[in-house]
Amino acid sequence: MGRYILKRIFSSVITIWFIMTLTFILMKSIPGDPFVSERAMTPQVKAAVYAKYGLDKPEFEQYLTYMTNFLKGDFGVSFNRIGLTTQDIIKGGFPYSLKIGGWASLFIIVVGIFLGIIAALRQNKVSDRTVMFISTLGATIPSFVFATGYLYFFSKKLGWAPSFGVGSWKHFVGPVICIGMFSLSYVTRLTRTSVLDVLQQDYIRTARAKGLSEFVVIGKHALRNALIPVVTYIGPMIAGIVTGSFVIEKVFGIAGIGSLFTTSILGRDYTLIMGITVFFGIFLVTAVLIVDIVYVLIDPRIKYD
């Protein structure tokens, strides 16, 4: 197990290096640069600005400089927010994204799995049908429609919720629900399908035939197997959710890091593009690694040597 984890960490590092290199190449190949503005700069001023940020050097040299600095823990200064480093910007926004994403993940896991199991146990009954109907809605309504609708009713019409920003718990209800809707529906359906699948297995019939209680049959035998696909999905999902959502953060006026993916690319903020990509890359790779480790814990049949 220990060797397996070491091996995985090593391959993760390679993956991240690969992501960084590819991002660097792609980013440099988009037209435009961080200093495009309505006011054309004179060639002298443009040269001075480029020199200030090291953009006058050949691109391979820029790449080497960036990678060297990166290894030293220096992710570079932002081009579009003078005086802030990439770390400052991520540090400033991540707490908000994490808080909303954390609650949303919890909400998805608890409610999604619970509803999925109920739906499976009461297959084709009213509760199953209701859960499936709602989850179809959740998966098909785009989150911005849902978010706008939420603001319209709860903020504008009823005045129960604030319209933007973060602060009290009231600020978080809307973003958490809106971010979670899609994954919640997905997790519910996934749980339902795999529980139904597992319940038809021979070993469940055996367990029941042995006279085990329903608690042990469902909890000990069925659920452990049924949750493997769910765990596979949840790992990367959490990584995706806590790194923020562009649409939700924009609609709810939250200063998270979700919008940085888009704004950094639109503004050609090279260092920020790299920083945020690496940040997300590390998150995702770690989440996948954790999922693999969790498999061992919930399924004794899986072993890594």
Partner 1 sequence: MFKKVVSMLIVLTMVLSLAVGCSQPQETTPPAETPAETPGETPAPEEPAAEADTLVWNLGADPKTFDPGLNNASDGGHIINNMFEGLMRDTGTGLEPGIAESYEISANAEGAEGTVYTFKIREGAKWSDGQPVTAKDFEYSWKRVCDPATASEYSFIMAPYIKGANDYLNGTGSRDDMAVSSPDDSTLVVELNFPVPYFLSLTTFYTYLPVREDIVTANGEGWEKKPETCISNGPFKLEEYQTGSHISLVKNENYWDADNVKLEKIKALMIVEATTALSGYENGEIAVLDSGAIPQDEIPRLKAEDPYFSIAPRVGTYYGIFNVDAEPTNDIRVRKALTLAIDQKQICEQVAKGGQLPATGFIPPSLSYSTGESCRQLDADGNPVEEYGLDPNKAQVEEAQALLAEAGYPNGEGFPSITFLYNTNENHKKIAEALQEMWKANLNIDVELRNEEWATFQDTRRLGDFTLARGGWLGDYDDPMTMLDLYTSYSGNNDAQWRWNLQPTVASHDTVLNETNKEFDEVIAAAQLATGTERDALLKRAEEIMAEEFITFNIYYYTYVQVIDESVVEGVNRTTMGQFIFKDSELVK
The residues in 216-275 that bind partner 1, with binding defined as CB under 8 A, are 218-219, 223, 227, 231, 234, 238-239, 242, 250-253, 255-256, 259, 266-268
- Could you identify the residue written with the tokens 């197990």? 1
Q: From the CB of 197, what's the least distance to partner 1, in Å?
A: 17
Question: Residue 88 or residue 197: which is nearer to partner 1 going by CB?
Answer: 88
Residues 157-196 that bind partner 1 (CB under 8 A): 159, 162-168
Furthest-apart CA pair in the chain: how many Å? 86
User: How far is it, in rounded angstroms, from Cα 134 to Cα 137?
Assistant: 5
44 binds partner 1 (CB under 8 A): yes
Q: From the CB of 128, what's the least distance to partner 1, in Å?
A: 13
User: How far is it, in rounded angstroms, from Cα 179 to Cα 101?
Assistant: 8
Strand, coil or helix: what is 11? helix
299 binds partner 1 (CB under 8 A): no
Residue 234 · residue 290 · CB < 8 Å? no
Residues 140-159 that bind partner 1 (CB under 8 A): 148, 151-152, 155-156, 159
In terms of Cα–Cα distance, which of 108, 178, 173 is closest to 148? 178
Region near partner 1 per CB under 8 A, out of 54-62, 68-76, 80-88, 131-139: 80-88
Which of 96, 146, 186, 270 forms a contact with partner 1 (CB under 8 A)?
96
Q: How many residues bind partner 1 (CB under 8 A)?
A: 87
Q: How far is CA 7 from CA 12, 141, 230, in A?
A: 9, 41, 25
Q: From the CB of 65, what's the least distance to partner 1, in Å?
A: 19
Which of 118, 119, 187, 274 forms a contact with partner 1 (CB under 8 A)?
118
29 binds partner 1 (CB under 8 A): no
User: For 221-264, what is the HEC assignment?
Assistant: HHHHHHHHHHHHHHHHHHHHHHCCCHHHHHHCCCCCCCCHHHHH
Element (H, E) at 135: helix 126-140
